[in-house]
Amino acid sequence: MTASDFDTIVVGARVAGAPLATLLARAGQKVLLLDADKLPSDQPMSTHFVQAIGMDWLDELGVGARIRALAPPSHRLRLDLLGHGITMSYAGGRAGCCVRRSVIDPVLQDAAVAAGAELRDRTEVVGLLREGDRVVGVEARSGDKTEALRARVVVGADGRNSTVAKLTGAKEYLGYDNVRFSYWGYWPAPRSWTADPELAGFDGLLEFAADRTLRFAFQCDGGLLMLSVAPELSALETYRGNHTAAYVECLRAGRLTRLLVEDNQPVAPIHGFKKLRFFFRDAAGPGFALVGDAGLHKDPTPGVGMTDALRDARNLARALLEGGDKALRRYHLQRDLDSLELFHFAQDLGDPSYINPLNALVFERAKTRPEIAERLALSVDRVIAPQAAIPVRDVIGWTLGALLRGRFSVLPPFFASGKRNGQVAKLRAQAAERLQLESP
């Protein structure tokens, strides 16, 4: 075994790891970026969507213009629940982008190398180097060769099944298992995408249907649409044997997605997942840190995972450049503070119980209130919490009005929502208190 020395070793060279390596290398660090795969390669297990604020962060990395040249802008996104739609537009003409990982990941990897990071693919981390309880490097295997690679800090950016997280024993908390499975594929964008009155005027769609299935449509690079379905786990048996046919039939059953698959065919095999776990993990310890899905994996329904990975890469870069364990602990606590409301919002949005009489009422009322769409845009720009996008006083007023008209079915979800929001507020207050204790 041979030995080498780096300031930081980043394990995983995708949406979290490659930007982190770029930022550190630009600041003068000696950075080694490792990935077990042969690069470039696809990573289809992703919502592919980068929110507008994430595009701002890609601009900071110097790759935003390149991504915009590859994928069309998504200015307007529609949320449709039981036929009641809210269309959200980003402020100031900004836009998000839905871009396949086979397209965006190489751009980010190229940026890291251009900044001065050393990138090695087909290199698997098989162990950690330690001095006492401190991580001081990795054992990395490439082919039949194993090296001891030393660094001041090792960062796991290697996804939800992170090897670094397993080897460090990073503790999981607030974890739960998925209640939906999903299949998705890429389709040529038909004329109806821009010409049909039901679809024209927005660039992405999230449809909550009466059958409690979620259906997604987003324009992405290559003139394609990414079409996805997410039924309840109880429907999984109907997909066994021929999941592609079941997936297409599910799209045809959607009020809006059916318009996109008529006389149309997917251009590649259909991808899917059956079992996932969503969680927080301790994001830092002596000599190591976690970033991206390695440390925080949330339900993909709101499509914020890639944007959060970019956010946390920026914050972790600052902590690593500051140096010391205390800076890493603050990074961990700041990540929790930034993420708790989004994590629980994603959980709620992805749960079949989100399709309930109260939310149907809220969508029905909110679609006539332009200021609510503006507040939704503020929530995805991380200005306000998603739970605050629709003012509580409005929800209370609409609920009382419904009760006066005999619509008592809104009451159970109203109380459940209030309880849930109280729990999230308590968790966030605790995270803020812990961060304050670690402040300089």
Alpha helices in 71-162 (DSSP H): 101-115
Bond from prior residue into 286 cis (ω within 30 degrees of 0): no
In this structure, what token pair is assigned to residue 3? 């030995």
In this structure, what token pair is assigned to residue 232? 């309840």
Cα 100 to chain center, whole Å?
Answer: 14
Positions of E strands within 231-359: 271-273, 277-281, 284-285, 288-290, 296-297
Does the domain spanning 3-75+93-177+276-339 belong to CATH 3.50.50.60?
yes
pLDDT surpassing 50 at residue 54: yes
pLDDT surpassing 80 at residue 362: yes
| Confidence bin at 4 (pLDDT 50/70/90) | low
pLDDT surpassing 80 at residue 2: no
| Confidence bin at 381 (pLDDT 50/70/90) | confident
Cα 14 to chain center, whole Å?
Answer: 13
In this structure, what token pair is assigned to residue 1? 């075994």
| Confidence bin at 3 (pLDDT 50/70/90) | low
Q: By the 8 A CB rule, do 78 and 160 touch?
A: no
Q: By the 8 A CB rule, do 390 and 362 touch?
A: yes
Work out the percent of the chain whose per-residue pLDDT is above 90.
84
Average pLDDT, integer, range 338-355:
95
Average pLDDT, integer, range 350-377:
91
Q: Provide the residue ranges of all domains of the chain, joining segments of one domain with +.
A: 3-75+93-177+276-339, 182-268, 348-438
pTM for this entry: 0.95
DSSP line for 281-307? E--EETTEEE-GGGTEE--STT--HHH
Q: What is the pLDDT of residues 300-313, one digit of tens each?
A: 999 999 999 999 99
pLDDT surpassing 60 at residue 160: yes
What gap in Å lies between CA 20 and CA 64, rounded to an integer? 16
**Amino acid, res. 297:** H
Q: What is the pLDDT of residue 376?
A: 86
Structural element, H or E, at residue 216: strand 214-220
What gap in Å lies between CA 86 and CA 306, rounded to an integer? 23
